[in-house]
Amino acid sequence: MKPKDILKQAQEGKYALGSFNFSTAEVLRAIIESAQAAKSPVIVSTSEGEADFFGLRQAAALVESWRLQTGLPIILNLDHGKSLDKIKQAVEAGYSAIHFDGSKYDYEENIAKTKEAVDFVKSVNQDIIVEGELGYLRGSSSLHEEILEIKEEDLTKPDQAADFVQRTGIDSLAMVIGNAHGVYTQSPEKLRLNRLGEIKAAVGGQVFLVLHGGSGVPPEDVRGAVELGIVKVNVNTDMRLAWRQGLEKSLQESQDATPYKLLQRSYEAVREVVKNKISTFKT
């Protein structure tokens, strides 16, 4: 199945696919086995840093082996690609989706750089999904003790979103509607679902809507967003925290140094997080 058809199916079925990050083989296995148990297509992602650790070609080869073994539709996505160079490498390695994050640039520069990424990817392979990002997404994929403050000007503006989609030719749009990367212990994130509705009305049905920062958002907010048309929800932090807790437990319990034994609890913990997320995204 083509990557776009996988997302289209989600759009029509009113559910979202989780985009789950990995940088180790047992996490990838946990994601895919969880998706398989739920009979759900899935997106697996590497950030630039995660890809540097795992290897772009190695990620593509391993994901392909999982596709063959499970028969599951699996999209391999470069998450927050920041440079055209990295995007070229990912496309060459066989990634089926590319997220170009030009949100740090001012509006016009974001458009120019995103369009450059779209034009490059589409010149190689029309079927690869390209996601652009508009708005100021705060945080990072970890625990945050400070209070999260999202300002009105951080949010994606509906009229700009329509213009951005039209001028860049992206397939998917990542937006800021109260979401942030990471988990904020002092201030749970609250989605502005009204804003999502306005963005959707402005861009029409021509683009897939994406929510980053799927960790730390209350499940009812995520469900509301999925009902309004979000088809991809990015998750990283909740898995990282579970992975670490699993490892700490193993280390406390045993003096063993066998990697596959030590990582068993991490594998199980990540599997559980993915399972819960997938059931949340089904609305």
- Kindly state the smallest distance separating residue 80's Cβ from Zn ion, in Å: 6
What DSSP assignment string belongs to 193-237?
Answer: HHHHHHHHHHHGGGSEEEE---SSS-HHHHHHHHHTTEEEEEE-H
Which of these is catalytic: 5, 52, 79, 171? 79
Q: Three-class SS of residue 76?
A: strand
| Number of chain residues interacting with Zn ion (CB under 5 A) | 2
**Residues between 201 and 240 with contacts to Zn ion, criterion CB under 5 A:** 212, 234
Residue number with CB closer to Zn ion (34 or 236): 236
Nearest-5° Cα angle at 188, 47 to 209: 50
Residue number with CB closer to Zn ion (23 or 246): 23
- Kindly state the smallest distance separating residue 106's Cβ from Zn ion, in Å: 20
Residue number with CB closer to Zn ion (77 or 234): 234
**Residues between 239 and 278 with contacts to Zn ion, criterion CB under 5 A:** none
Task: Provide the H-helix boundaries in the chain.
Answer: 3-13, 25-37, 48-54, 56-70, 84-93, 107-124, 158-168, 193-203, 219-227, 237-253, 259-262, 264-281
- Kindly state the smallest distance separating residue 244's Cβ from Zn ion, in Å: 19
The residue sitting closest to Zn ion, measured at its beta carbon, is 212
H/E stretch holding 144 = strand 139-144
- Kindly state the smallest distance separating residue 259's Cβ from Zn ion, in Å: 29
* Residue with the two structure tokens 């083509």: 2
Rg from Cα positions in the chain: 18
- Kindly state the smallest distance separating residue 266's Cβ from Zn ion, in Å: 22
Residue number with CB closer to Zn ion (168 or 234): 234
**Residues between 14 and 43 with contacts to Zn ion, criterion CB under 5 A:** none
Q: Is 195 in the site for Zn ion (CB under 5 A)?
A: no
Residue number with CB closer to Zn ion (168 or 215): 215
User: Is residue 127 among the annotated active site residues?
Assistant: no
Contacts 24+ apart (CB under 8 A), 117-121: 117/81, 117/84, 117/87, 118/168, 118/169, 118/170, 119/169, 120/84, 120/87, 120/88, 120/91, 121/87, 121/91
Both structure tokens of 118: 């779209």
What DSSP assignment string belongs to 13-25?
Answer: HT--EEEEE-SSH
- Kindly state the smallest distance separating residue 250's Cβ from Zn ion, in Å: 29
Amino acid 67 reads: R
Q: Which residues bind Zn ion (CB under 5 A)?
A: 212, 234
Active-site positions? Answer: 79
